[in-house]
Amino acid sequence: MLTPSLSGVPVVLHWGAALGELDPAALDGAAAALVPGTSHSALDAPRQRGVVGENVTGFTGLPGLEGFRPAGGSAWAPRLRSWAWDVDDSGEPDTDALVTLTSSDDEAGWGVRVELQLTREGLVRMRTSVTNTGDSPLVLAAVRTALPVPGRASELLDMTGRWCRERTPVRRSWTAGTHLREGRHGRTGHDATLLLAAGTPGFGFGQGEVWATHVAWSGDHQAYAERTPEGECLLGGGELLGPGEVVLDPGASYAGPWLVGSFSPTGLDAASARLHGWLRRHSPRTRRTRPVVVNTWEAVYMQHDLPTLSSLAEAAAAVGVERFVLDDGWFTGRRTDHAGLGDWQVDADVWPDGLHPLIARVHALGMDFGLWVEPEMVNEDSDLVRAHPDWVLRGREALPDPWRHQQVLDLQHPDAYAHVRDALVALLDEYDIAFLKWDHNRDLVDVSHGGRPAVHGQTLAFYRLLDELREHSPGLEIESCASGGGRIDLGVLTRTDRVWPSDTIDAVERQRINRWTSLLVPPEMLGAHLGGPVAHTTGRTLPTGFRAATALLGHFGIEWDLRTLTDAERDEVAAWVALHRELRPLLLDGTLVRGDHHDPAVVVSGVVSADRREGWYVVATVDTPVTQSVGPVRLPGLDRGASYDVVDRTPAGPGHRASMGTTWLDGDGVVLGGAALAELGVGFPAMAPEAARVLHVTAR
C-alpha cells in the first residue's frame, strides 16, 4: 500500500497480506494513524521514511542515495520534497500495475525516479534511478532500495556459502542495527544470499509469515536488514559501487537493480512459488520440454577424440538421454586448464574435420548437441592474449594474480567485446548447437577500466553479450555456470534457461544445495545430474538410487562415464531416466514444496500439479536418522479435501535395507485424504543414511 505522507512524500505503508478494497478516506486514515510521534531528541516535526531513505530528513538508517561532486557543492545528497505520480494500471487481473514516482532537488542537481510494481503473482518490484540534473559530474556512492516490514518479523534467514557448499542457510534473531551482506566477487558469488527473509519466530517452509527480498543483479551487491532506533524495519539492497565506479555527466542517468519482494502468510514455500511464477513468465523458452542431458566433463575431462566421445554418446542414447553436451577441451590449444581460453576455434589437431562428425553422430542417435564455453575468461597462454595483451582486465600495469590459471577479458573494450561475440556467432553459424554451458571460473580481483572499478561495466557488457546472442539465435538455450553456483540471480536468470547450482554433484551436498537454491530457481531451471559412484569433489561413495533421486525433481542430467556401466547399472539408470521423463511435464508449471520434518536428517521435497490432483515426492536421508524409524512423513501441498492413492515408485536397484520387515511401501500403496497427508503423513520404516524413496500421489 503506497500513499503520500502528511508531508506529501510517498510512503510504502504496507506490504503483506491483502487488505481488501480501501477507499481514499481509509488510505488517508492509515497514513495519519501510522505517523510516529516526536521525541524530545529529534527533529521538531514528525518524520516518516519515504520511498527513498534520506538522511537529510533525519532518517538514521542506510541512506537510499549517496554521492558527491568533485567540482564541489554544498548539497551532497538530495532533499526530495515534491513528487509526481504516474500510475499505469489497466485493472486487468493479468496485468502488472506500475507506479512511477519522480522528484528532484535543483540545488543538489539530483533527479530521482522510483518504480514500484505489483506483479500478477503478488511480487513487489522496486527500483531507484538517478539523473544528474546539475552542471558538473556527479559521482554516485550508493543507490539503495528498501521495503518496510512489520516489527513482528523478528527472525532473519539468509544464506552464505563457498565453492561446493553454496546456499548454506543462516538463521538469527533480528535485533536493532543493520545486518549487511555484501558480494565483492565481480559476480553474484558462492556466498550470495539468494533471499533475505524476515519472518515471525519459527517460520518454516509451510508455516509463519515471511517477507523475503532479492537483489536482481549479477555483479557486486548489497543486501541488508535494518531496525533503526526509531523503530523502522527494512529489507533492502542495491548494487555495491566501487569508489568512482559510476560517474554521471550532466544529463546522464543510472538505474539501480530491481529489489524483488515476496510475501507469504504460510511460510517460505508460498513466497518461493510467487518468484517461480514470475520467472516462468519471463523465461518462456523453459516452458518446452527440458531434455535429459549428458555432460562429458566427469566422464572424459579434456581427453577428447571422436571414437571416445562417439561411444559415450551411444551409451547415453541407450539409457534415454536427449542432449549431449561437450564440455571443456574442444578448442585450440586446450589440453589442460593452463592454456587456450580466448581462442574459441575448434582445435584442428584433435578435430581435423571440426565438430561435424561428432554432431552428426549425436543427431543420428536422436540427441541434440550442446557446447561448453567460458567467453569472459582468457589464459595468458593463448593466441588472443599474445596478440592483444591490452584486452586483459587489470587494475595496474601488472596482471592480477592468476585464478585457475586465467584472467578476465575486458568486455568494455569494444574490440575485445566484438572479438568474443563474433567468435561465438561463428560457432553458432557453423554448427547446429542447441545449448551453451556458459562458465565463469574466477572472481574479478584488482580490475579497472578507464581508471575506475570495472565490475559495473563488465556486468552490463555480459548482459549485452547474452542478449545479442539470443537475438542472433532465438532458439539457443544457455546455462549460467560460474564455477558452479557463483552467478545465480534474477538478473542472469531472465537471460538464461537454467543454472548449475554447484560444481559438486555429491548427492548429500546437493540435497541441501538444491533445496535452498530452489527458493529462487524453479525446478525446471535447476540443473541436477546423476554423477558417478564416487563423487568427483568429495570422494564420497553413494548408491545409484540415492544419487538419481536427488536429481529427479530438477532439470535431470548425467555426469558419469556411461561406457563403464554393468548391464544391471545400465538398466537401473535407464529406469530413473524413464521415471524423470514421466514426471517432468509436471515440473514446467507445478508447485515446488518442501516438507518440514522434525529430524534434520530427513529431507522431503515434492512438486504438486496446479490443480493439486497429482504430486511426486522424494524422501531422502542425508545422515543417520535420530530415531530407529524415520516416523511419519508429511506430504504438503495437496488438496486437503481430496482422497489420494499413494504408491512407491522408486526404481528397483541394489541397496542396503535398514528395515528387515515389510511395510506399506512394499505393497500396492495406501489411500489417504489430503488433510491426513498434510497433518499425519505416511509412516516410514527405518532408512539407512543416504537412501531415498520416490512417492507418486494421485487424486481418486
pLDDT tens, 81-129?
Answer: 899 999 987 666 667 889 999 999 999 999 999 999 999 999 999 999 9
Catalytic-role residue among 220, 503, 506, 648:
503
Sequence length of the chain is 700
Looking at CATH, the fold of the domain delimited by 593-699 is given as: Immunoglobulin-like (2.60.40)
Backbone phi, then psi, for 575, in 5-degree steps?
-65, -40
Query: Any catalytic annotation for residue 105?
Result: no
* pLDDT on residue 256: 98
How are strands ordered across the β-sheet holding 65-68? 65-68, 138-143, 246-248
Query: Any catalytic annotation for residue 432?
Result: no
Catalytic-role residue among 191, 439, 497, 506:
439
* pLDDT on residue 663: 82
> Mean per-residue pLDDT for 142-162?
97
- More confidently predicted of 176 and 91: 176
Q: What is the residue type of 172?
A: R
* pLDDT on residue 667: 84
* pLDDT on residue 660: 47
Contact criterion met (CB below 8 Å) for 604 and 635: yes
* pLDDT reading at 665 higher than 90: no
> Mean per-residue pLDDT for 144-148?
97
* 290-490 is classed CATH 3.30.360.10: no
Residue-wise burial string across 540-553, b where 16 or more C-beta atoms lie within 10 A, e elsewhere: eebbbbbbbbbbbb
Q: Which residues contact 349 (CB under 8 A, 6 or more apart)?
A: none
d(CA 21, CA 166) in angstroms, rounded, equals 43
Q: What is the residue type of 133?
A: T
Q: Which CATH superfamily is domain 56-282 in?
A: alpha-galactosidase from lactobacil brevis (2.70.98.60)
Q: Which three cell numbers stand for residue 316?
A: 547415453
> Mean per-residue pLDDT for 656-677?
79
* pLDDT on residue 656: 47
d(CA 222, CA 146) in angstroms, rounded, equals 11
Q: Which three cell numbers stand for residue 426?
A: 561463428
* pLDDT reading at 196 higher than 70: yes
Beta strands 293-295 and 555-559: pairing type? Answer: parallel
pTM for the full model? 0.95
CA angle 375, 377, 383 (to 5 degrees): 90
Domain ranges of the chain: 56-282, 290-490, 593-699
The Cβ of residue 292 has, within 10 Å, a number of other Cβ atoms equal to: 23
> Mean per-residue pLDDT for 486-495?
97
pLDDT tens, 352-380?
Answer: 999 999 999 999 999 999 999 999 999 99
> Mean per-residue pLDDT for 564-591?
97
Q: Which three cell numbers stand for residue 299?
A: 566422464
Residue 297 DSSP SS3: helix
